[in-house]
Amino acid sequence: MNEPELIRAQLAAERQHLAAVTDAIAALDAQPAPDVAEFRQACVDYLVCVLAWYEQRDGRLAQLLERKAPEDATRAALDEALGRHGGSRQALEKLEAALAGNRAAAWREFAQFFHRVWSARRDALEAGLGAEGRVGDWRALGGIDADTILEERARYARVRALAPAHVALSAEVLSAR
């Protein structure tokens, strides 16, 4: 596996984990319960951390694009994707609103935004870089190193460890029973 493939694999794992955590927190009853409070906090901590990384990635990508020639086709596609509604800052704002309201509807709204708007924007950004993207471009986008990989894994492991018995959580499939 070459370096861009490794970076893309980590980004894919993060996105799977984000989706699983988003679905888990949206499936919980909005009322605070002793058996879910610590789990809910672990979910929020995970989401805030990883969505902030994606916000930073967008900033690095914008800086990278400034160095590309205006006529570069990749630049045009990525500029368009970066300009779309649904950035990580907006996802963090929706998360904050869900926390403040702590209503089931607010959590579902956050999950819908994540799955429909945020994810579509991420898909467009990653497609813009393409499978043939240069190693430097993927490095700039990812900002991934051993420390961030270990931190992401530890945060996700904490979410999994604290999941109540009535919540099934995995990297690929999530269902609330």
pLDDT tens-digit series, residues 16-72: 999 999 999 988 865 566 678 899 999 999 999 999 999 999 999 888 888 888 888
Phi, psi for 2 (deg, rounded to 5):
-85, 170
Are 17 and 158 contacting, i.e. CB atoms less than 8 angstroms apart? no
Give Cβ neighbours of residue 106 (< 8 Å, ≥ 6 apart). 30, 97, 98, 100
Q: Which two tokens stand for residue 70?
A: 């205006």
Picking from 156, 78, 88, 159, the residue whose alpha carbon sits closest to that of residue 119 is: 88
CA angle centred on 121, ends 116 and 125, rounded to 5°: 150
Is pLDDT of 105 > 80?
Answer: yes
